[in-house]
Structure 1
């Protein structure tokens, strides 16, 4: 989900869209990593407007979601607040065709995927509507999906709702006074998931935290984040409070830059949560960089010891301001990381002069999956980027695309692409977060569906 912090960045880009586009375009040819081909092997969609009903024992307030999306207002009437793209210019809002609030809980955008090795995949619903303040009626959910690549249908097989009945979380939650204590997007922002044994582990963005639950979604463990032996905080960390008078608030991670991706070692011994933004370095009063590029920490959590190991690596962004979308391991040393810009829509439909509702004012220009090698880190711990595939240049020689394909190609021009995992020795799966009802990357005026694509990338997966 495009968060409040990301929207602030986007608004700045909107003010200087032409200059930013030229700068990015000029930077692209200088990138040195090898580009590998990607061929479409399948595409499946779950319609954007897919809702589930809360459990019977959930508070009545959760029967309708999205009541708090207008700042400073509460809107209870279903379908009365029109959705517009996060990336719209304020002078030319681009409608998505859907309206809030919703009668039910939207399955909506997926952030974090895990291959279950039987043709199904575990995914998590993003925290709700983009921020703590507007997601108090959005339930935290985990789903099992089955794509039918031939028909293009992405089916939801099951849904699990997260809850904290045993009061493992050390802070007040929205449903504190209930017996079941279902969790919402105002409590936590889960962004990645891994199953180890009978436990589910979640990388969380608000704290950032690690969360452990059982298979039924009941919280069984909670861990604050440590880097170099010290607890680190975002502005939404439980220990951070707004001061009574103007002054410095101490935190080391930007809002909405906590754990976005989280991989696991093949043996289940370690988790590798990856921060979405760089750390603040007090000594230099700057964000952590290498050769001018922001670097993101990959941390190591020892599952057996239930503690941070103290080891970490660094992932260097290709352009400052880019974001990562997901992280999963291929084997014990190499992994897949999505790196993307904050644009949506094909460049061919970009606004030529000024923003208009019928064109993309910030088109997608950088959407990649990188292959990294933890064992080939440099002396400062920066991992090697072996190569990448370009999600804006997918070959479709067999015409397998069910939507978005043309001239033997498919693009994946979504602002938030937050799912990637290996399927087998030749294929990976990639999916978007459709930010319901705030993204229109596939078609003007229509909210994006939840899309999954299967990509044949044999050479990419073999590369060293």
Structure 2
């Protein structure tokens, strides 16, 4: 009992038990366990795919508006890319836009079909509605050869809405197939349920239901027990007031803070979309916090009724500025969460805080996968964090790395480790969003490839 503060000794037995449980909870939340590299592969950063012929000539190239002026630039490779991680001196990534074809880009979500085959979704384009006008929304079937480290794109499905299920006017309204673009949705998470795909979006945020070829079957608003959750990019909030002194529309979901994560129950009956960032609290005029820590919400969605059940969980971030990048269920009650910072990348050479462009001035800091328990919730609605693995400290005894140093300790130093999928009883895969071509965390001066990393997480599975 010597480790217990003296003041606890005066508490009644029940209170003492609760206090001790709280202390154990805090301690267990910080338990780090090891992960072992079991495979590593990558798709080259400059991978592209041709747009469908009936999409039109506009989509024969992409990135024409991803420049500082936000004006059309048709000259391929003329706009050099810089990372937004690096202080006041922009650091060139080595990439450039526009590109011929549609950039496969970074992977923001992944579904495991088996150990070698996966479905992945490309991010919505080049960061926002304005610069993503010529970016089509895509789902790719990928094959991974773990021995060679090669990732092969087998086919691509383009999201389209020929039956006009989307409740608002889309960019390609006049097309027969009505291909969806980065103006319409910001797709970030994906699950396969039977013969359908469910995709989490950040603009609404919405849930998109499609067939396996990407045809939209429905769009679901985020309404939980009568309360709507919207971002400033929701189609009903897309109009500014007539005058600057008029009241602005209100929203709770941060721009680009919607359904980045979305898990699925093992039986496929429930989805668990979550907000990437904390929600905005209009009363405090700040993002939601509890005891000084920001937090976000995990929602429960019933697939059969296509309605939110009303059940929610709170997830507390370890540090301000952290985000929830993905979420997957291990079983009926426990799951895995990627929690990461949104402002660091790279390992070496590092020069923290220095105003230089020849090194990583904000080296990768917080990139973790937490095991959480939805059945163990405290009195304030927060899920218990059981343990975590550090994606910057992965054991590599078999020297399986295909990118970066192939040393005893392997790292995923990207700005955005952004997707994970359960492969089998003790393996997961993790993918990065390379913000094409804006992230350069693996190698200075080179835009990040799309890496697919197989991890043995037996220690995390066993953690209690």
Q: Give the TM-score normalised by structure 1.
A: 0.91
Match of 1:294, SS?
Answer: strand
Output aligned runs, 1:40-59, within 5 Å: 40-59=37-56
Identify unmatched segments of 5+ residues in structure 1: 1-28
Q: Residue 223 of structure 2 is aligned with which of 221, 226, 236?
A: 226
* Residue 194 of structure 2 is aligned to residue 200 of structure 1: no
Q: How many angstroms does 1:283 deviate by?
A: 4.0
Match of 1:12 in 2: none
* Counterpart Cα distance in 2 of 1:451 and 1:144: 15
**Is 2:61–2:98's contact at 8 Å kept on the other side of the alignment?**
yes
Q: Deviations over 1:10-52 (max 9, x none)?
A: xxxxxxxxxxxxxxxxxxx999521010111110010000000
Q: Deviations over 1:298-350 (max 9, x none)?
A: 01111111111111111111111111111111111111110111244344422
* Counterpart Cα distance in 2 of 1:384 and 1:283: 27
**Is 1:414–1:432's contact at 8 Å kept on the other side of the alignment?**
yes
Identify unmatched segments of 5+ residues in structure 2: 1-25
Q: Deviations over 1:93-129 (max 9, x none)?
A: 2222221101000111000111113531111000010
* Counterpart Cα distance in 1 of 2:214 and 2:295: 33
Number of aligned positions between the proteins: 435
Q: How many angstroms does 1:230 deviate by?
A: 0.8
**Is 1:342–1:364's contact at 8 Å kept on the other side of the alignment?**
no
* Counterpart Cα distance in 1 of 2:222 and 2:136: 24
* Counterpart Cα distance in 2 of 1:297 and 1:138: 30
**Is 2:29–2:384's contact at 8 Å kept on the other side of the alignment?**
no
Q: How many angstroms does 1:228 deviate by?
A: 4.2
Larger Rg: 2
- After TM superposition, what 4+ stretches of structure 1 lie above 6 angstroms from structure 2? none
Match of 2:210, SS?
Answer: strand
Q: Residue 143 of structure 1 is aligned with which of 140, 144, 158?
A: 140
* Residue 210 of structure 2 is aligned to residue 213 of structure 1: yes
Q: How many angstroms does 1:232 deviate by?
A: 1.3
* Counterpart Cα distance in 2 of 1:72 and 1:100: 13
Match of 1:332 in 2: 332
Match of 2:79 in 1: 81
* Residue 96 of structure 2 is aligned to residue 99 of structure 1: yes
Match of 1:57, SS?
Answer: helix
Q: Deviations over 1:363-408 (max 9, x none)?
A: 1110000111111111222111111000010111111111213441
Q: How many angstroms does 1:409 deviate by?
A: 1.3
* Residue 122 of structure 2 is aligned to residue 113 of structure 1: no
**Is 1:174–1:183's contact at 8 Å kept on the other side of the alignment?**
yes
Q: Deviations over 1:394-441 (max 9, x none)?
A: 111111111213441111010011111221122111111111110110
Q: Give the TM-score normalised by structure 2.
A: 0.91
Q: How many angstroms does 1:86 deviate by?
A: 2.2
Match of 1:112, SS?
Answer: strand
Match of 1:78, SS?
Answer: coil
Q: How many angstroms does 1:362 deviate by?
A: 1.4
More deviation, 244-253/280-289: 280-289
RMSD of the alignment, in Å? 1.6
Output aligned runs, 1:234-245, within 5 Å: 234-240=231-237, 241-245=239-243
* Counterpart Cα distance in 2 of 1:31 and 1:252: 31
